[in-house]
Amino acid sequence: MTKQTHALWVFIEQRSGLIQPVGKELLSEARRLADTADRPVNVVAVLLGHEMHEAAQSLEAYGPDEILYVDDPRLEHYDVFPYADALTRLIKQYSPTIFLLGGSVIGRDLAPRLSMRLDTGLTADATHLALQEDADTLLLEATRPAFGGNLYATILCPNTLPQMATIRPGVFTEVHTPHTKAQMHVIQFEALEAPKVVFLERKVKQRSAQDIAKANVIFSIGRGAKASLNTAKQVADALGATVASSRALVDEGVMVKDQQVGQTGKTIRPNIYVALGISGAVQHTAGMDKAELIIGVNTDPNAPIFGVSNISIVADAHAVLEAMASQLNAIE
């Protein structure tokens, strides 16, 4: 790898030796971006782990030009010190232009720390990426919904490298690139920084509800339907559907964060998404506009949710949920 070529790096997150989907999603998007550029842009998958050579090789399927795999016992499980250290050394050595990381709990622990260590800019939770090519610069345009309402902001990091951004899991889709060959570099470092936090215990979270990211049918409740949350849960149960919500209900404490749809919640692609009493702020639609069929129910005919709805119904969500409950009762 020469320093002159622009390199677009993707952090490949692994947990217990398993590559997480978000890394493959970002790698697929990085491939797509690189292919839009006029100049050569090298897509590089960066994996930190221990005894993961095969998994590293399997990343080839998502189209990187190169794979950097750092093997070290200290990298087996994520800890911010050895991880930030290994990445800093790699970045100093190879000078990538752009570095994308998943916006998972791990990515959001690591990326800010790294950006500070490297004194460079980091954009959080981008939902759209593009490249801007100038004479000798290659800039990442990271777009995210900004602050309330219907506003988007495109953010650049023009003067420092690498230009960093995090992207939430589920925003991009995995794309297999058949028959690609990637150049593999296995790297070892001397004495990586030691973890400072001590691990004591691990518990699998009790599922408070079904995983909204895996559900086929979602009934999603917003502030306008809050009082009918229980009816919605009954209706969803009867139909084998899953209840999710806007951030408004999470902020009010009636739903848990795991069930929040949107830019800072989960990005989901169910077959059917029924939005009840949800206004449709861009932060919300960023997480659901790729659903196959969207049904919006809102009392306001001008609600932005109708901008993404395949079926747009002006009605009182409470009454609609009641009517669904009684129609379902009548069937039984």
Partner 1 sequence: MNILVLVKQVPNTTEMMIDKENGTLIRAGVESIANPDDLTGVELALELKEKTNGHVRVITMGPTQAEDMLRGLYGMGVDDAVLLTDKRFAGSDTWATSNILSAAIKRYPYDLIIAGRQAIDGDTAQVGPQVAEALGLPQVTYVHDVTHYETSSLTVIKSLEEEKLTLRLPLPGLITVLSEAREPRYLNVKDVMTAHQKPLETLTFDDLDLSLDAVGLKASPTRVKRTYTKEIVQKSPVQTLSPEDAATLILKHVVGHH
Ligand X SMILES: Cc1cc2nc3c(=O)[nH]c(=O)nc-3n(C[C@H](O)[C@H](O)[C@H](O)COP(=O)(O)OP(=O)(O)OC[C@H]3O[C@@H](n4cnc5c(N)ncnc54)[C@H](O)[C@@H]3O)c2cc1C
Closest CA to 303 of 283, 269, 267, 277: 277
Query: What type of residue is 125?
Result: D
Q: Determine, following the binding rule CB under 8 A, whether residue 167 of this chain makes contact with partner 1.
A: no
Q: Determine, following the binding rule CB under 6 A, whether residue 174 of this chain makes contact with ligand X.
A: no
Radius of gyration over alpha carbons of the chain, in Å? 22
Q: How far is the CB of 23 from partner 1 (least distance, A)?
A: 14
CB-nearer residue toward ligand X: 51 or 252: 252
Determine which helix (DSSP H) or strand (DSSP E) holds 56, and give its type and residue range. Answer: helix 53-58
With CB cut-offs between 5 and 8 Å by kind, which of partner 1, ligand X, none does residue 274 bind?
partner 1
**Number of residues in contact with ligand X under rule CB under 6 A:** 30
| Backbone dihedral angles phi then psi of residue 200, each to the nearest 5 degrees | -110, -45
Q: Which residues are 9's β-sheet partners? A: 44, 99
Q: Which stretch binds partner 1 (CB under 8 A): 43-51, 53-61, 226-234, 323-331?
A: 323-331
Before 301, cis peptide (omega within 30)?
no
With CB cut-offs between 5 and 8 Å by kind, which of partner 1, ligand X, none does residue 257 bind?
partner 1
Q: Determine, following the binding rule CB under 6 A, whether residue 237 of this chain makes contact with ligand X.
A: no
With CB cut-offs between 5 and 8 Å by kind, which of partner 1, ligand X, none does residue 265 bind?
ligand X
Q: Determine, following the binding rule CB under 6 A, whether residue 103 of this chain makes contact with ligand X.
A: no
Q: Are 55 and 47 in contact (CB under 8 A)?
A: yes
Q: Which stretch binds partner 1 (CB under 8 A): 32-40, 65-73, 147-155, 182-190?
A: 147-155
CB-nearer residue toward partner 1: 31 or 318: 318
Q: Determine, following the binding rule CB under 6 A, whether residue 199 of this chain makes contact with ligand X.
A: no
Whole-number Cα distances in Å, 316 to 33, 321, 329: 43, 9, 20
The first and second tokens of residue 306, run together, are 């109708």
Whole-number Cα distances in Å, 241 to 5, 244, 264, 325: 49, 10, 23, 13
Q: Which residues contact 171 (CB under 8 A, 6 or more apart)?
A: 25, 126, 127, 267, 286
Q: Determine, following the binding rule CB under 6 A, whether residue 223 of this chain makes contact with ligand X.
A: yes
Q: Which stretch binds ligand X (CB under 6 A): 67-75, 100-108, 189-197, 254-262?
A: 254-262
Dist. CA 166–CA 102, nearest whole Å: 5
Closest CA to 220 of 204, 200, 198, 235: 235
With H, G, I as helix, E, B as strand and everything else as coil, classify residue 130.
Answer: strand
Residues 105-144 as x/- pattern, contact with ligand X by CB under 6 A: ----------------------------------------
Q: Are 126 and 164 in contact (CB under 8 A)?
A: no
Q: Are 11 and 105 in contact (CB under 8 A)?
A: no
Among 18, 186, 227, 315, binds partner 1 (CB under 8 A): 315
Q: Determine, following the binding rule CB under 6 A, whether residue 263 of this chain makes contact with ligand X.
A: yes
The first and second tokens of residue 169, run together, are 């899991």
Residues 75-104 as x/- pattern, contact with partner 1 by CB under 8 A: -----xx--x-------------------x
**Number of residues in contact with partner 1 under rule CB under 8 A:** 87
Q: Could you say which residues in the range 103-142 bind partner 1, by CB under 8 A?
A: 104-106, 108-113, 115-117, 119-125, 141
With CB cut-offs between 5 and 8 Å by kind, which of ligand X, partner 1, none does residue 111 bind?
partner 1
Residues 3-22 as x/- pattern, contact with ligand X by CB under 6 A: --------------------
Instruction: List interacting residues with ligand X (CB under 6 A).
Output: 147-148, 222-225, 246-248, 260-265, 277-279, 281, 283-284, 287, 297-300, 303, 316-318
